[in-house]
Amino acid sequence: MPELPEVETVRRGLNAHTCQQRICGGTVLLNRSLASPAHANDFIEGMQGQSIRTWHRRGKYLIAQLGEDDSCDRLGPTADGWLGVHLRMTGQLLWCHPEDPLEKHTRVRLFFEGDRELRFVDIRTFGRLWWVPPHTSPHTVMTGLLSLGPEPFSPEFSSDYLISTLANRRKPIKTALLDQTIVAGVGNIYADESLFLSGIPPTRLCSQLTPDEIDRLRQQVIDVLSQAIEAGGTTLRDFRDVTGINGNYGGMAWVYNRNGQPCRQCGTPIARIKLGGRSSHFCPSCQPDPKTP
């Protein structure tokens, strides 16, 4: 948390509020929130005077193109650089007035012309920010971008791709869905939801899935993420959009965080197990686990 729908919700909010806004300064309240550059002065001075052109999302990363150039569809070098953000577990970006009360866990403040500011708030302090200098590709500074698999909504996330990728993997399908090198942006919540709607238990080995099951799962991943984006993401504890509004998908969830509650389809109590150190929620009746051949 946040996962792709939450990050996409934040991206849309940032594009609605911060674009064409000029950064006139800032302050770093917790230096380890900066991934690059290491020094707060370099981070703030690198962006000072630049406007935000547009925000992109890649997996769970947010990347803002800086400057006045035409919008860039790919994350390549630009004349004015980039601002990168990874929210990790509890990060938030909030669009505020400077006189608004300062949240206890505010880590970075960026001041904009017009008496507004963008605050990076992070309780657990795992989130990170990057300034990518001019004429530099974000991938060379935000190196985590290099290992990401295809976006769920992209043509690259095809049935053929997923079938060939999963065919020989002897790991649980839930674990595979959380692997960002296989598909970018899917996390614990939406993996559970997609598996439920596909009728596949989280413990099923990838190599045991039929092509039809994989194709069905791929479509459910796309559909579940789309529905969650339309609902503004999921708020369980910390997630808020840039104006402080909670997401609404949690109340619609089929299985996630519903341990012991009746399945919305068959009434069987939802079960929860630990898988790879993460909680997995599923319906034992709707997602039967066949014996290993």
Residues 203 and 276 in one domain: yes
Identify the CATH number of the domain in which residue 104 sits: 3.20.190.10
pLDDT in tens, 245-290: 665 566 789 999 999 999 999 999 999 999 989 999 999 999 998 7
HSE at residue 60, side-chain half, CA atoms within 13 A, is 25
Last residue of a domain, one of 145, 174, 197: 145
Residue of 171, 168, 151, 135 whose CA lies nearest to 57: 151
In a domain, 287, yes or no: no
Q: Is the pLDDT of residue 1 over 70?
A: no
In a domain, 151, yes or no: no
* Burial class for 7, CB neighbours closer than 10 Å (0-12, 13-18, 19+): buried
In a domain, 150, yes or no: no
Residues 139 and 169 in one domain: no
Which is higher by pLDDT, 231 or 214?
214
Residues 169 and 197 in one domain: yes
Which is higher by pLDDT, 192 or 293?
192
Q: Is the pLDDT of residue 96 over 60?
A: yes
Element (DSSP H or E) covering residue 209: none
The pLDDT value recorded for residue 70 is: 64
Split at pLDDT 50, 70, 90, the class of 293 is very low
The residues annotated as belonging to the active site are 2-3, 60, 278
pLDDT in tens, 138-183: 999 999 999 999 999 999 999 999 999 999 999 999 999 999 999 9
Residues 122 and 173 in one domain: no
124 is in an annotated binding site: yes
Q: Into how many domains does the chain fold? A: 2
Contact 257, 196 (CB under 8 A): no
Residues 124 and 197 in one domain: no
Rounded to two decimals, the pTM is: 0.93
pLDDT in tens, 7-63: 999 999 999 999 999 999 999 999 999 999 999 999 999 999 999 999 999 999 999
Quick check: bond before 262 cis, omega within 30? Answer: no
pLDDT in tens, 64-77: 999 976 656 689 99
In a domain, 289, yes or no: no
Residue of 174, 172, 248, 281 whose CA lies nearest to 6: 248
In a domain, 31, yes or no: yes
In a domain, 290, yes or no: no
User: Which residue spans within the chain are E strands per DSSP?
Assistant: 23-28, 34-36, 52-58, 61-66, 82-86, 91-96, 106-112, 116-122, 128-132, 271-275, 278-282
Residues 180 and 107 in one domain: no
Give residue 137's domain range: 4-145
Contact 101, 84 (CB under 8 A): no
Q: Is the pLDDT of residue 235 over 60?
A: no
The pLDDT value recorded for residue 276 is: 87
97 is in an annotated binding site: no
- The answer for residues whose C-beta is within 8 angstroms of residue 51's C-beta and 6 or more apart is 20, 21, 22, 23, 66, 67, 68
In a domain, 288, yes or no: no
- Say which residue the tokens 């194709």 belong to: 215
Q: What is the mean pLDDT of residues 205-228?
A: 97
CA 100, CA 105: separation in Å to the nearest integer?
Answer: 14
CA 44, CA 266: separation in Å to the nearest integer?
Answer: 55
**Residue 27 DSSP SS3:** strand
Residues 188 and 265 in one domain: yes
**Residue 224 DSSP SS3:** helix
Q: Is the pLDDT of residue 92 over 80?
A: yes
Quick one: tokens of 80? 């004015």
Residues 8 and 130 in one domain: yes
Last residue of a domain, one of 145, 175, 204: 145
Residues 65 and 171 in one domain: no
HSE at residue 92, side-chain half, CA atoms within 13 A, is 25
The pLDDT value recorded for residue 234 is: 66
Identify the CATH number of the domain in which residue 203 sits: 1.10.8.50
In a domain, 59, yes or no: yes
Q: Rounded to 10 degrees, what is the CA torsion of 121, 125, 126, 129?
A: 50
Residues 136 and 266 in one domain: no
Contact 58, 67 (CB under 8 A): no
169 is in an annotated binding site: yes
Residues 194 and 85 in one domain: no
The pLDDT value recorded for residue 292 is: 44
Last residue of a domain, one of 145, 173, 204: 145
User: 55 φ, ψ to 5°?
Assistant: -110, 135
Residues 103 and 234 in one domain: no
